[in-house]
Amino acid sequence: MLTGEWEPARTALPSGTDERLDLDWELGVRATGLDLDEQVVRLDDGRELFYDGLIIATGASPRRLPGTEDLAGVFTLRTLDDVAAIRAAIDAGARRVVVVGAGFIGAEVAASCREQGLDVTMVEPLPQPLSRVLGERVGAVIADLHRAHGVDVRLGVGVEGIEGDGRVERVALADGSTVDADLVVVGIGVVPNTGWLEGSGLELEDGVVCDETTLAAPGVVAAGDVARWPNARFGETMRVEHWEHALDMAMHAARRLLAWGEGVTDVAAFAYEPVPWFWSDQYDRKIQLAGRPGPDDEMVVIAGALDDERFCVAYGRDERVTAVLAVNMAARVVRYRRALADGLTWSQVLEDAAASGS
Amino acid sequence: MTGENRFQSRWGSEMRVVVDFDLCESNAVCMGIAPEVFEVRDDDFLYVLQEEPPPELWDRVRDAAARCPKQAITLEG
Ligand SMILES: Cc1cc2nc3c(=O)[nH]c(=O)nc-3n(C[C@H](O)[C@H](O)[C@H](O)COP(=O)(O)OP(=O)(O)OC[C@H]3O[C@@H](n4cnc5c(N)ncnc54)[C@H](O)[C@@H]3O)c2cc1C
Ligand code: SF4
């Protein structure tokens, strides 16, 4: 949509399911509170909704740069309105774009803006884009990709402040330099939307904390960007911000809730242990990641080479493969995702690497 | 689950998988869900392995169609 290629209507949810599902929409109202004992969700129009079972899926909101709220031309990107506002700024003639943060959102914004011929500077305090997730070598590949497409990539430097008189004029960086800008897009991560659950008695810690089956309290489950749960496959409590994950976890949580309603006690059967999967399109590259790489994981190239247009790498620790990432090799990631679910070992991956000559 | 076959009548006794290859971006979401029907090969193109999949795959094929980020899969029947 940011490139103008998609009309807003195309993003609408597939229709035609409502009447079959027998559900009531309450659009334009916000949940403001939860009472676990009374089994009631409070709404901002004063009403209270009683529930037998509750699914919390309030997602997350983009983190903002403090002190920029009143400055025109500074945007975050999450909703359709956000995209429309950025689009409108471009249509109104914005030409010099600063992208704050070189995570997946920032990198995609930078790519879409470059494809429209805008000047783009991308600022990232880490030594390489995504280096905390993907390591410095793969991070460097992403930085080079953006440089090759004409993005001015500034690494290892944070944003000191955004300056302008009512409207953004320049971005001041921590190294004392400034970058002129008429459009700033901030992509520095998200915060789970749990404000309405404060004081409800649910455990909140960077998300709604669930048990290993996605249950957060009796009769309450959570799913998607807002939910944190222990994933035994990775031995880690995680919150995943991926689209496919939101759908998958929602289905799991719904089944879990129904089982709770039916008094099912064999909760082990409901342990939620997915291999998260994510993709990101940047220019002509399709980056796909299955699994959950850790910052200190080993990394090995298992197909192609890092300076190729297509390659595949694996991450691992303690003889265990934690993740597989590929650029323009989507099918491989899908296959490895299955292998990861079946307990792919590091030595198997090394064999694959040897077989492909990498 | 009682809902399992509830939508079957909508499809009659056949299902035909049609992919709009102009929309498809080969991200293999569908392959992750129904590899018997959808396969993205190393040439980066999507191949439909069974254009008329058997009923036991219909649930997953519908799931794949619903989850395709480009809404490139249509089911006729
Ligand atoms: C620009 C962008 C690009 C992305 N690209 C990718 C990608 O390429 N691949 C990928 O895997 N993922 C991507 N993601 C991430 C993916 O979109 C999210 O992980 C996914 O949308 C999470 O779904 P969710 O339902 O948990 O939350 P959301 O989609 O955030 O939905 C939460 C809903 O709850 C509502 N809500 C919040 N608070 C309340 C309240 N108090 N009362 C009532 N309603 C409330 C919100 O309005 C919202 O409608 C991207 C995200 C963004 C923003
Ligand atoms: S999910 Fe959709 S876009 Fe992705 S490969 Fe399948 S048909 Fe193509």
Indicate the SS3 state at residue A284: coil
| pTM beyond 0.95 | no
Residues of B with CB under 8 A from a CB of A: 6-7, 25-29, 31-32, 35, 39-42, 44, 66-67, 69, 71
Residue A33 has pLDDT above 90, yes or no: yes
For residue B38 the two structure tokens come to 């959808």
A190-216 mean pLDDT: 97
Ligand closest to CA B29 = 2
The rounded mean pLDDT for chain A is 92
Q: Is the CB of residue A279 below 6 angstroms from any atom belonging to ligand 1? A: yes
- Specify the DSSP element, H or E, that contains B31: helix B29-33
- H-helix segments, A149-299: 243-261
pLDDT in tens, A96-148: 999 999 999 999 999 999 999 999 999 999 999 999 889 999 999 999 999 99
Residue among A204, A193, A185 nearest A241 (CA) = A193
Q: What is the pLDDT of residue A5?
A: 67
Rounded Cα distance between A150 and B40, Å, is 31
Q: What is the pLDDT of residue A354?
A: 87
Sign of the dihedral defined by the CA atoms of residues B57, A212, A225, A338, in that order: negative
Question: How close A243 gets to chain B, by Cα (Å)?
Answer: 9
Q: What is the pLDDT of residue B67?
A: 87
Rounded Cα distance between A343 and A341, Å, is 5
Residue B11 lies in a domain: no
Rounded Cα distance between A343 and A337, Å, is 10
How far away, in angstroms, is A77 Cα from ligand 1 center? 11
Please tell me the least confidently modeled range out of A7-11, A241-245, A351-355. Answer: A7-11
Gyration radius from chain A CA atoms: 22
Residue B61 lies in a domain: yes
Q: What is the pLDDT of residue B8?
A: 46
Nearest chain A residue to B68 by CA distance is A244
A288–B27 C-beta distance less than 8 A: yes
Q: What is the pLDDT of residue B7?
A: 47
Query: Which residue segment(s) compose the domain that B57 sits in?
Result: 26-76
A333–B35 C-beta distance less than 8 A: no
Rounded Cα distance between B66 and B34, Å, is 12
Question: How close B42 gets to chain A, by Cα (Å)?
Answer: 7
Residue among B56, B62, B64 nearest B40 (CA) = B64
Q: What is the pLDDT of residue B1?
A: 39
Strand A74-76 versus strand A183-186 pairing type:
parallel
Question: How close A108 gets to chain B, by Cα (Å)?
Answer: 16
Residue A209 has pLDDT above 80, yes or no: yes
Residue B9 lies in a domain: no
Q: How do the domains of chain A map onto residue ranges?
A: 62-190, 284-356
For residue A87 the two structure tokens come to 């689009």
ipTM: 0.71
Ligand closest to CA A281 = 1
Residue B18 lies in a domain: no
Residue B49 lies in a domain: yes
Give domain A62-190's CATH number out of 3.40.47.10, 3.20.20.140, 2.40.110.10, 3.50.50.60.
3.50.50.60
Q: Domain total for chain B?
A: 1
Q: What is the pLDDT of residue A10?
A: 61
Return the exposure string of A32-58: e unless at least 16 CB atoms fall within 10 Å of the residue's CB, then b. Answer: ebbebeebbbbbeeeeeeeeebbbbbb
How far away, in angstroms, is A311 Cα from ligand 2 center? 20
pLDDT band for position A321 (cuts 50, 70, 90) = very high
For residue A214 the two structure tokens come to 């996605």
Highest mean pLDDT of the ranges A209-223, A297-311, A333-347, B42-56: A209-223
Residue B10 lies in a domain: no
The rounded percent of chain A whose pLDDT value lies above 70 is 94
pLDDT tens across the length of chain B (77 residues): 344 444 444 555 789 999 999 999 888 889 989 999 999 987 888 999 999 999 999 999 999 998 898 899 999 87
- Specify the DSSP element, H or E, that contains A87: helix A80-91
Amino acid identity at A346: W
Residue B55 lies in a domain: yes
CATH of domain A284-356: 3.30.390.30
- Residue in B26, B67, B71 nearest the CB of A330: B26
For residue B20 the two structure tokens come to 């709009």
Residue A9 has pLDDT above 50, yes or no: yes
The CATH number that applies at residue B48 is 3.30.70.20
pLDDT in tens, A143-175: 999 999 999 999 999 999 999 999 999 999 999
